[in-house]
Amino acid sequence: MKLQIKSLSGELTEEEKRYLRKRLLWFEERLPNSAIMTAGVKAHITKKSNQAYELVLHLIIAGEKKPIYTRVFKNTFAEAVDLGREKIERIVLREKQKKRFSFRLKFLSFSLRGKKNESI
């Protein structure tokens, strides 16, 4: 998987980029190499806004007609990244269970009880 990180306003620090890469590593290990994920980060610095960070995740999987897209607003950068990752992960797993994806997820098995079991 190819990961593209874009700053939609201002500059991202190396620490923020590193954290974003670290949290999205789950997808890199399990999605096909032809998949492209774009992460856009926008900082809202206004007194009226309760939400300080906006994270936009866009996942394109080769051979699939519809890309996966999510948008998250949170007060801190870490909260936005964590919530965005969880949302995309849930969507990918749900679509895979519905057999809408033709690729094979590596190292993943599904449980009927709703728990996520990973096998190595």
Contacts of 19 (CB under 8 A, 6+ apart): 77, 78, 81
Structural domain total, the chain: 1
Q: How far is CA 110 from CA 74, 116, 117, in A?
A: 30, 6, 6
pLDDT score for 69: 92
The total of other beta-carbon atoms located within 10 Å of residue 92's CB is: 21
Please answer whether residues 108 and 29 qualify as being in contact, where contact means their C-beta atoms are separated by less than 8 angstroms: no
pLDDT per residue, tens digit, the chain (120 aa), is 888 988 888 788 899 999 999 998 888 877 888 889 999 998 876 666 565 888 999 999 887 888 999 999 888 889 999 999 999 989 888 887 777 665 555 555 555 455 555 544
Ordered strands of the 53-60 beta sheet: 2-7, 36-43, 53-60, 68-74
Global pTM reads 0.75
Residue span of the structural domain in which 56 resides: 2-118
**What CATH code is carried by the domain that includes residue 6?**
3.30.160.100
